[in-house]
């Protein structure tokens, strides 16, 4: 996996929903989060101030959501804030230890750009390139990545630092990213990214 060009120094690492909610012992378990987490940490460590963690925050009740989201959370009522243990919304250890200087953006939809302040935060940072890690490959990562493409960001997906609860759809998305979006979505492993991202 080769990047189109070196990564801009002011790029931002966007780490999607690495929360206890999606950890192997959470209500939406992602069994191989641990391996992806190790690599996400490698991306955070050199430049935590250029890392934004997102957290998926469910509604208090299904009635707080519009349309099909209401039906979705009626099925998953056990993860609404009316019932869930609030500690499940926290980042998995040791990510919380990077805050600050890393920051957190809470969101209530799959995409980190919807119903969240992310776009404003990125503008303040002057970011034009996003390095993406996190969970899940085929849901929140997918939705965020496609919104980022539409907004004109250079998008680099850390292929070994994303994960899903379903291997088949993870693999399908990796194929989609590489074959259908090759000009707008770059796939690279963590070491390649680190080697192409100059330090200040």
| pLDDT at res. 52 | 98
Instruction: Please state the rounded mean pLDDT for residues 26-44.
Output: 93
pTM of the model: 0.95
Alpha carbons 69 and 125: distance in angstroms, whole number: 32
pLDDT of residue 175: 92
pLDDT at 32: 84
Residue 178 pLDDT class (50, 70, 90 cuts): confident
Sign of CA dihedral 105, 124, 159, 110: positive
Task: Report H helices in the chain.
Answer: 33-44, 67-75, 118-125, 140-150, 167-180, 190-196
The single residue listed with the structure tokens 């200040």 is: 200
Question: For residues 4 and 105, which has the higher predicted lDDT (pLDDT)?
Answer: 105
**Tokens matching residue 121:** 């935060």
* Candidate CATH numbers 3.40.50.850, 3.40.190.10, 3.30.360.10, 1.10.260.40; the one for domain 12-196: 3.40.50.850
Per residue in 12-21, pLDDT (tens digit) is 999 999 999 9
Mean pLDDT of 174-182: 89
Q: At 16, give phi and psi (nearest 5°).
A: -90, 120
Q: How many CB atoms lie within 10 A of CB 80?
A: 18
Q: What is the Cα–Cα distance from 81 to 12, expressed in whole angstroms?
A: 30
Rounded to whole angstroms, how far apart are CA atoms 188 and 73?
Answer: 35
Q: Which residues pair with 186 in a beta bridge?
A: 156
Q: How far apart are CA 117 and CA 57, in angstroms?
A: 14
Q: What is the pLDDT of residue 142?
A: 95
What are the structure tokens assigned to 13, written together? 């690492």
Contact between 88 and 21 under an 8 Å Cβ cutoff? The reply is yes
Tell me the domain boundaries of the chain. Answer: 12-196
Alpha helices (H) in 45-189, listed in sequence order: 67-75, 118-125, 140-150, 167-180
Look up residue 145 and give its two tokens.
């990545």
């Amino acid at each position: 996996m080769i990047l189109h060009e070196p990564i801009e120094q002011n790029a931002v690492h966007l780490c999607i929903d690495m929360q206890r909610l999606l950890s192997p012992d959470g209500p939406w378990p992602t069994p191989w989060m641990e391996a992806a987490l190790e690599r996400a940490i490698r991306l955070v460590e050199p430049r935590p101030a250029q890392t934004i963690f997102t957290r998926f925050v469910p509604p208090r009740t299904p009635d707080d959501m519009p349309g099909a989201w209401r039906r979705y959370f009626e099925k998953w009522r056990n993860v609404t804030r009316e019932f869930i243990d609030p500690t499940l919304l926290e980042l998995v250890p040791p990510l919380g230890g990077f805050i600050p200087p890393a920051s957190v953006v809470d969101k209530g939809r799959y995409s980190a750009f919807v119903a969240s302040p992310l776009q404003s935060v990125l503008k303040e940072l002057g970011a034009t390139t996003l390095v993406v890690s996190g969970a899940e490959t085929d849901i929140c990562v997918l939705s965020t990545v496609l919104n980022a493409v539409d907004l004109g960001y250079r998008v680099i997906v850390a292929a070994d630092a994303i994960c899903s609860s379903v291997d088949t759809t993870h693999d399908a998305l990796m194929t989609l990213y590489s074959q259908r979006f090759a000009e707008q979505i770059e796939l690279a492993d963590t070491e390649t990214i680190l080697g192409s991202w100059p330090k200040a």
